[in-house]
Structure 1
Amino acid sequence: MDANDSGDGKQNTADMTQFVQNLLTQMQTRFQTMKVLDEMGERKGELEQSINDLRAEMGAEATQSPPSPSNKDVFA
């Protein structure tokens, strides 16, 4: 083994280390993106449920409440 082999080994190790660090950074970024997307999906689901609850509530009130007075009755 000569001096050049030792230098090549160190360069290969440095290259591999940089490659692995870049790969880990990319994976971390993707996991963070997935987490954000999951949170947005949960919020969307909660919002849809709230809308459905409001629709159901409005439907129940419309069938149970007495008719509202007409404008003629209010201003008479």
Structure 2
Amino acid sequence: MDGQDSGDNKQSTADMTQFVQTLLQQMQNRFQTMSDSIVQKIDEMGDRINELEQSINDLRTDMGVEGSPSPLSTSKKAVEANIEPKTEEGSA
């Protein structure tokens, strides 16, 4: 009976190995799908921010405020210079 038990153990081990490999593949596929979805949403958000910035610049141009820098470009310059942008008291 030891030979039969050994054969059953080998089959059980092979089944478990196949189950774990299948489970890991499913998890990897789900992770990849979620990752792709997140990257797509981030890209869409970046596009929307760019459109918003362009709309703000267009409005500023229409209002004749071309000369003053946008708050976004001021913040970028401050970050590049390692300086905190100045904010008014009471604003968060």
TM over 0.5: yes
> Shift in Å at residue 2 of structure 1?
2.3
Greater per-residue helix proportion: 1
> Shift in Å at residue 5 of structure 1?
1.1
Counterpart residue number, 2:51: 51
Residue segments in structure 1 that go unaligned for 5+ positions in a row: 66-76
- Distance across 2 between alignment mates of 1:33 and 1:61: 42
Query: Partner letter of residue 10 of structure 1?
Result: K
Query: For 1:11-48, what per-residue CA distance to the aligned partner results, in whole angstroms no more than 9, with x for missing partners?
Result: 00000000000011111111111111111011011011
- Distance across 1 between alignment mates of 2:52 and 2:61: 14
Q: Which has the higher contact order (CA 8 A, sep 6+)?
A: 2
- Distance across 2 between alignment mates of 1:62 and 1:21: 61
* Bigger radius of gyration: 1
Identity rate, percent: 42
Query: Partner letter of residue 29 of structure 1?
Result: N
Structure 1 stretches (4+) deviating beyond 6 angstroms? none
Matches within 5 A, 1:17-36: 17-36=17-36
- Distance across 2 between alignment mates of 1:2 and 1:31: 43
The number of residue pairs the alignment matches comes to: 65
Query: Partner letter of residue 8 of structure 1?
Result: D
Residue segments in structure 2 that go unaligned for 5+ positions in a row: 66-92
Counterpart residue number, 1:14: 14
